[in-house]
């Protein structure tokens, strides 16, 4: 089998349905042999019933609780039969030819992980790759609005070797995922793919971005609430640095504390209690 498509899902019934239909549509005339594995993280929105009714061919893993992104992907990888495995978010729509293009690129670039070009639903670009998460990178991300300036996150128009690509659409061989030890299940959400690809690069793998494989990414579908991103990013960064850059943990802590205190001060000045609460919760993880 050529390809295993692995999709974690949590309360995203309509998005997951749309994602699956886009996969079937784009591959219906393809010679690629594939399977789809959906890992449902204890959804309460009727996702499983719809999957059973409308997509009987899809392989399903039904968790009794929300196991998180990395654990769910590992569950899929452990039963995958494809030579290549594509980690796909449930809020992704595969555009025509995208999966064939991504797979072809990966075959031409051995010992690599590959990501494609992501678009928002309105057709605007979504930054989907970037350099490594060094202290300088994190500083620019936290304080210089570097994401908005396409310095720390970007979506180039040319094939580019990068430090990371978005985990919303990440392709590698099944062998390569096993070679680097699968996803680290100590991370619940956010930084999962960053940590995985950091290990991959240390083992000699390359990370590539190709703009020729195009996907629509609705974004943030798996976030439980508006509080989740800040809390999980703070937690993810701390975990990542303790594991990969232990000598720089104190620098990271300092940056996160300053970022949090600035946000709390702004929230207090302008009466934004939610902002204060969100960053106070984040700081408790530092």
Would you kindly state where each structural domain of the chain is located, as residue ranges?
3-217, 228-283
Please spell the DSSP secondary structure of 12-48, one letter per residue.
Answer: -HHHHHHHHHHHHHHHTT----EEEEEEE-S-SSSHH
| Dist CA 238 CA 248 (whole Å) | 10
For residues 195-216, average pLDDT: 98
Categorise residue 68: left if φ over 0, alpha if ψ from -120 to 50, beta otherwise.
left
Per DSSP, 58 falls in state S
- What is the model's pLDDT at position 228? 66
For residue 277, give the nearest of 285, 190, 269, 263 by alpha carbon.
263
| Dist CA 160 CA 208 (whole Å) | 6
Whole-angstrom Cα Rg for the chain: 19
* CATH class of the structural domain 3-217: alpha beta
For residues 12-34, average pLDDT: 97
> pLDDT tens-digit profile of 226-280?
456 898 889 999 999 999 999 999 999 999 999 999 999 999 999 999 999 999 9
> 81 exposed, middle or buried (CB, 10 Å; 0-12, 13-18, 19+)?
middle
- What is the model's pLDDT at position 227? 54
Task: Give me the sign of the Cα torsion angle 234, 236, 238, 241.
Answer: negative
- What is the model's pLDDT at position 128? 93
pTM, rounded to two decimals: 0.93
- What is the model's pLDDT at position 286? 94
- What is the model's pLDDT at position 190? 83
- What is the model's pLDDT at position 152? 82
Reduced to 3 states (helix: H, G, I; strand: E, B; else coil), residue 262 is helix
59 pLDDT band, cuts 50/70/90, is: very high
> 245 exposed, middle or buried (CB, 10 Å; 0-12, 13-18, 19+)?
middle
Contact criterion met (CB below 8 Å) for 46 and 10: no
Q: How many other C-beta atoms can be found within 10 angstroms of the C-beta atom of residue 101?
A: 18
In this structure, what token pair is assigned to residue 185? 């299940």
Reduced to 3 states (helix: H, G, I; strand: E, B; else coil), residue 151 is coil
């Amino acid at each position: 089998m050529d390809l295993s498509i692995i999709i974690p899902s949590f309360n995203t019934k309509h998005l997951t349905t749309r994602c699956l239909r886009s996969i079937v549509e784009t591959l219906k005339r393809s010679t690629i042999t594939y399977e789809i594995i959906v890992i449902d993280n204890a959804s309460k929105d009727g996702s499983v019933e719809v999957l059973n009714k409308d997509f009987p061919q899809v392989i399903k893993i039904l968790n009794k609780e929300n196991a998180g992104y990395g654990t769910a992907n590992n569950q899929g990888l452990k039963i995958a039969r494809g030579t290549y495995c594509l980690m796909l978010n449930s809020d992704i729509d595969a555009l025509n030819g995208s999966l064939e293009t991504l797979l072809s690129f990966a075959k031409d670039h051995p010992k690599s992980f590959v990501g494609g070009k992501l678009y928002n639903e309105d057709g605007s670009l979504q930054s989907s790759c970037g350099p490594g998460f060094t202290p300088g990178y994190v500083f620019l991300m936290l304080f210089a609005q570097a994401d908005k300036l396409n310095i720390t996150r970007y979506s180039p128009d040319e094939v580019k070797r990068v430090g990371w690509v978005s985990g919303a659409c990440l392709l590698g061989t099944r062998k390569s995922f096993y070679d680097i030890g699968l996803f680290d299940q100590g991370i619940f959400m956010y930084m999962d793919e960053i940590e995985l690809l950091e290990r991959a690069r240390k083992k000699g793998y390359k990370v590539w971005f190709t703009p020729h494989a195009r996907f629509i990414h609705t974004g943030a579908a798996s976030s439980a609430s508006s509080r989740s991103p800040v809390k999980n990013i703070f937690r993810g960064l701390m975990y990542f640095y303790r594991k990969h850059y232990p000598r720089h943990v104190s620098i990271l802590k300092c940056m996160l504390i300053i970022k949090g205190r600035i946000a709390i001060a702004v929230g207090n000045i302008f009466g934004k209690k939610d902002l204060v609460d969100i960053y106070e919760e984040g700081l408790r993880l530092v």
